[in-house]
Amino acid sequence: MPVQIDIAKVASLARIALSAEELHRYGEQLGAILEHAERVQQLPTEGIPPTAHPVPMTNTFRPDVVTGSLPIADVLAAAPDTEDGYFRVPPVLGES
Amino acid sequence: MIAPNGFEAVIGVETHVELMTASKMFCGCPVDFGQPPNATTCPVCLGLPGALPVPNREAIERILMIGAALNCQITPTSYFHRKNYFYPDLPKNYQISQYDVPVCHDGEISVDVDGETALIGITRVHMEEDTGKTLHVGGGGRIHEADYSLIDFNRSGVPLVEIVTEPDIRTAEQARAYGAELQRIVRTLGVSDARLEEGSMRFDANISIRPRGAEDLGTRTEVKNVNSLRSLQRAIDFEIQRQIELVSGGGTVVQETRHWNEESGSTTSMRSKEESEDYRYFQEPDLMPIEVSPEWRDAIVAGLPELPAARRARYGSLGVDGGVAAVLVATEELGAWFEAAMDGGGDPRLIGNWLSGEVVAWSRTEGTDLASAPLTGDHLVELATMVADGTLSASAAKKVLAGVLVGEGSPAEVAAARDLVQISDSSVIEREVDAVLAAHPDAVAGIRGGETKLIGFLVGQVMRATGGKADPKLVSKMIAAKTAG
Amino acid sequence: MSDPADLTIRAAGDALRSGQLTSAELTEAVLERGRITEAHLHAFLTLDQEGAKEAAAAADAALAAGHDHGPLHGIPIALKDNICTKGVETTASSQILSGWVPPYNATVVDRLAAAGAVIVGKTNLDEFAMGSSTENSAYGPTRNPWDTDRVPGGSSGGSAAAVAVGSAMAALGSDTGGSIRQPAALCGVVGMKPTYGLVSRYGLIAFASSLDQIGPFARSVDDAATLLEAIAGHDICDATSIRRDVPPIRRSIDAGVHGLRIGLITELSGEAIDDEVMGAVNHTLAALADAGADVGEISVPSCEYGLSAYYLIAPAECSANLARFDGVRYGLRAAGDTTEEMMAATRAAGFGPEVTRRILLGTYALSAGYYDAFYGQAQRVRTLIRHQFAAAYEEYDVLVAPTSPTTAFPIGDKVDDPLAMYYTDVCTIPINLTGDPGISVPVGLDSRGLPIGFQVMAPALEEARLFQVAQAVEDLSQFQSRAALATSEVVAP
Ligand SMILES: [Mg+2]
Ligand SMILES: [Zn+2]
């Protein structure tokens, strides 16, 4: 059975503006893909730790050394909108 | 303030501390806030496509110091996670943070309010990165009415430590005392300048109320935008009062985030938790786990400097009064003078009292910054020695100290210039005593009749006659001898 | 001498050092091949003719002055367009990065430059490397040089096609679920995914961070090893980069397979695989046995769940990795009254359907209430697969399988059926999950004249063993990787 999902909520979390028609289509496609992906639940995995990294290592740090920053022109070169060295965006609704 | 009406407040504090490392948390940009906007940014802290984070070992070292100083357990293996939310000053639109396994957990510190000690549990201390800064332009700087916003990523990626307490705090004063102690600890460790006004140390408070004696927790609100220790206390007091009034009036507290407004002295609702984000935490695949061996942990603990609590205890063992010790440890300059004077072998009690008393009072009344005062530890030792050897009376010593503070010179120079050196020559004193006794025969008779408190009166007369320079102990002894039997 | 564009790196290097050829001539031959073939293939998004000519001249001058930077000195190489190149547009085939010029180089680009290589351009891919056919490029598909009505595979289809026709002597791609090996198989070239962490990912536009790995395409196993040697090794800029010396990759490349234990993975062979593909694989196995290998078959049952686990883990990671494309600092910005609306509109306009699908899928798999059943469970299955592969390597020195269940399929065949498209990666995905190295070597053609790839897999950091077997497969199969043949229609006399 295809998995039923709240596709509008998912699209909002992913911050992608989709039309009703697109939401419907993606909802159906995701349902079918998840039906297949759900097969992972068939395997007994009690006591099996998750793998986040294929080649385990620890403490891969760098020393506290300043290696420099980009020239400011490079920082802003690709920006859609800037003002006085800042990136400029439309007003922000929420607070972080 | 104790919550009235049989209510008790339950408070937890979340603190963010920026670490003043040389370079940022995950890249080689400098931690330097004096630069033009976006001048200290690179592919990593701008979240450019393809860039990867690599953790700064010194930042890990420093969070371990904080954890150890807060008596935390150090997690043998902890992990970085991605906290996903969209905000324009968060370049990757996820913050690298820690989630279910922080690097330090289960610590505690004690704080004193009005002589009462409270133990505050530390739930966790975790490592994360700071965001950039958003400037809302137009609409009087208020976010909702702004015309547009400007973003500076210089702060993006600065190492940030989050310290979360258990809900062990009961009053706003305790919360403030906790904040102050935490600030002292962080500064003592030398890991951050911990300036609240500049945002390198930031507090959020979780506050709920419940009937005194109740076990269950009430619905809590989270108060943000607290920019000083004083406003931490004010904001919590306001919020406790607001909740009590709400509940007493038959209302219910809504779980929400509230914004502290310094000018109005009140909190206002920002958003309710129902519409809060689903952060979709998952282990950061670009970063490997942090493994702290017992050897590493032990080296961190062994390398800790003397922390404020231990320092207060040490001062106490020197005979310094508890309240005085707290003042000395709370103020960097006082503490430094005290330490220097101790190195010079000065009297701890006397010098501690001068510093916490006269010096603080002088600084307050004159509005003078302690850092600019030309006082040294040697001055204090010299002054204490002059009192001990009878050169200065206690009251004259205070006058000398005042002279030193305004730059009149060393204690010896000030005492000489102000003619404050005590008269210890007994023949000079005897002449004055005899003159006073002759002038007050009634008093002499009274003393002989058993009214010994009149000795004090006569001592006062001698002191007045000598302009306060006579050694009062010697005067008193002499009068007692001459009026005896 | 034949057209220099058809030489191997080794042969071209010999010619450069003997003075028979200059890098300028070689580069011009390769660029000329590109000018002829591009109209039919669309392997490149950017052909940097000027930059390539300058680099070739510099390489010639250096060599003349006695500065020999090694086997890649003066060799024209192409880069997949999800690898950042300072000053050269890098789009990852996405509308959202249209026109973006990185201010920095990926580590592999710096290493190639240090090795004296000449970068000829940036190759086409499925948008953000998400796909198996290069049809998901915002700038139009790449075609298969063996049959231009068919796909070259993907996502590194442009790199595979360019190497196949000689518009690059070798190329770099990235492999997250088979994106190097599968197009290599479909285009009849060698494609190799290194051990996770052997090659720095710094500057590779991330798709799925715990799976992505940069690797080489070449027309011979030996050339692929040469390219890998140049780019492998620890990088301080990548915290997942393995901190040890690069194992000697070509230590035993000519040692043959006598006495080596070679195991065919049961779950990646048999009925699910096209008969002709399976026939070629079995034929190769028989040749390996004749050459003295101890050939057998081994079951790795959890392999069957690899695809399902992959389609939860990769989208989950991509949903976060692609969150940075928000219209604030670079790339496309769509109009919006608020930043929130601007971001949502930008992302809707900038991402193609497959990328959108995977971001949504990954967002769902990580969201509150579903994490454990989907993402968490997929990570545990990943552990099982790692354990079972490790156990299989107790019995066999290398494991083998077809690279792709079919040869190249027609353009448009699977674009409307995501699951069918995902299935084309069934044989390559398992070792992305384990992090082990793998290589696809062409071993023959099917009855339509389309190349068939044979996949060899080895334990982590056993690249030397992997290349040893791959070299033997190449020698035994006698496959002529003939770019000229592959492009006979287009390279008309
Ligand atoms: Mg935080
Ligand atoms: Zn940076």
Q: What pLDDT is attached to residue B284?
A: 98
Q: C278 with C269: CB under 8 angstroms? A: yes
Q: Helix, strand or coil for residue C217? A: strand
Residues lower than pLDDT 70 in chain A: 95-96
Q: For residue C493, name the pLDDT band (cuts at 50, 70, 90).
A: very low
Contact C80, C174 (CB under 8 A): yes
pLDDT (average), residues C101-113: 98
Q: What tens digit of pLDDT does each residue of C369-393 get?
A: 899 999 999 999 999 999 999 999 9
Q: Is the dihedral of CA B279, B284, B285, B289 positive or negative?
A: negative
Q: Is C155 a catalytic residue?
A: yes
Question: Phi/psi of residue B38, each to 5°?
Answer: 65, 15
> Judging by beta carbons within 10 Å of its beta carbon (0-12, 13-18, 19+), is residue B99 exposed, middle or buried?
middle
Q: What is the pLDDT of residue A95?
A: 67
Residue of chain B minimizing CA distance to A54: B285
Task: Return the DSSP state at B23.
Answer: B
pLDDT band per the 50, 70, 90 thresholds, residue C492: very low
* AA letter at C167: S
How many residues are listed for chain A in this entry?
A: 96
- Give the count of beta carbons closer than 10 Å to the beta carbon of residue C247: 15
Asked if residues C128 and C99 have their Cβ atoms less than 8 Å apart, the reply is no
Q: What is the overall mean pLDDT for chain C?
A: 95
> Chains with 3 or more CB pairs closer than 8 angstroms to B?
A, C
Whose tokens are 């003719």? That residue is C49
Q: How far is the CA of A69 from the centre of ligand 2 (A)?
A: 6
pLDDT value for A79: 98
Element (H, E) at C297: strand C294-298
- Give which of C44, C268, C233, C4 is closest to C152, Cα–Cα: C44
C-contacting chains (≥3 CB pairs under 8 Å): A, B
The DSSP call for residue B36 is P
CB contact under 8 A, A69 and B37: no
Question: How far does residue B319's CA lie from ligand 2's centre (Å)?
Answer: 51
Yes or no: say if C168 and C150 are a contact pair by the CB < 8 Å rule: no
Q: Which ranges constitute the DSSP H helices of A1-96?
A: 7-13, 20-37, 72-76
The overall pTM is greater than 0.90: yes
User: How many CB atoms neighbour CB B439 within 10 A?
Assistant: 12
Alpha carbon dihedral B340, B342, B347, B350, in 10-degree steps, equals 50
pLDDT digits (tens, 9 = 90+) for C28-59: 999 999 999 999 999 999 999 999 999 999 99
Q: Is C167 a catalytic residue?
A: no
b/e per residue B454-466 (b: at least 16 CB within 10 A): bbeebbebbbebb
Q: Report in angstroms the alpha-carbon separations of B186 from B123, B203, B234, B298.
A: 17, 14, 23, 19
Among the bound ligands, name the one nearest to the CA of residue B163: 1
Of C239, C290, C224, C243, whose CA–CA distance to C262 is shortest? C290
- Is the Cβ of A70 closer than 8 Å to some Cβ of chain C? yes
Structure tokens at C14: 């010999």
CB C45 within 8 A of CB C24: no
Q: What is the pLDDT of residue B465?
A: 86
| pLDDT greater than 70 at residue C488 | no
Start-to-end CA distance of chain A, whole Å, equals 39
Which pLDDT belongs to residue C41? 94
* Owner of token pair 């299955």: C381
Q: Which residue of B has its CA nearest to C92?
A: B49
Residue C364 confidence (pLDDT) above 50 = yes
C11 at interface of A, judged by CB pairs closer than 8 A: no
What are the pLDDT digits (tens) for C279-307? 999 999 999 999 999 999 999 999 999 99
Tell whether the model's pLDDT for residue C485 goes beyond 60: no
Count Cβ atoms below 10 Å from residue B359 Cβ, excluding itself: 25
pLDDT tens figures, C146-179 = 999 999 999 999 999 999 999 999 999 999 999 9
CA nearest C370 in B: which residue? B280
**Full pLDDT tens readout for chain B, 485 residues:** 455 568 999 999 999 999 999 999 999 999 999 999 999 999 999 999 999 999 999 999 999 999 999 999 999 999 999 999 999 999 999 999 999 999 999 999 999 998 899 999 999 999 999 999 999 998 765 666 789 999 999 999 999 999 999 999 999 999 999 999 999 999 999 999 999 999 999 999 999 999 998 989 999 999 998 999 999 999 999 999 999 999 999 999 999 999 999 999 999 988 655 456 799 999 999 999 999 999 999 999 999 999 999 999 999 999 999 999 999 999 989 999 999 999 999 999 999 999 999 999 999 998 888 999 999 999 999 999 999 888 888 888 999 999 999 999 999 999 989 888 877 777 888 888 999 999 999 989 999 888 888 898 999 999 888 877 888 888 888 898 888 86
What separation in Å is there between the alpha carbon of B16 and the centre of ligand 1?
Answer: 7
Q: C467, C439 in Cβ contact below 8 A?
A: yes
Instruction: Give yes or no for C293 touching A (CB within 8 A).
Output: no
Q: What is the distance in angstroms between the Cα of B152 and the nearest Cα belonging to chain C?
A: 11
Residue B471's pLDDT is: 82
Q: Read out DSSP for C381-416?
A: HHHHHHHHHHHHHHH-SEEEEESSSSS--BTTSSTT
pLDDT digits 0-9 by tens, B138-161: 876 566 678 999 999 999 999 999
The number of helix segments (H) and strand segments (E) in chain C equals 16, 11
Instruction: Determine, for residues A39 and C305 on separate chains, whether the beta-carbon distance falls below 8 Å.
Output: yes
Short-list C175, C220, C182, C226, CA closest to C414: C182
- Ligand in nearest proximity to the CA of B16: 1
How far is A42 from chain B, CA to nearest CA, in Å? Answer: 22
Q: Which ligand is nearest to the CA of B102?
A: 1
Catalytic residue among C155, C159, C220, C440: C155
Q: Is A40 on the interface with C (CB under 8 A)?
A: yes
Inter-residue contact C454 to C477 (CB < 8 Å): yes
Please give the torsion angle defined by the CA atoms of residues B197, B200, B203 and B204, in that order, rounded to the nearest 10 degrees.
110
The two three-digit tokens of residue C167, written as one number: 């518009």
Quote the pLDDT of residue B4.
Answer: 56
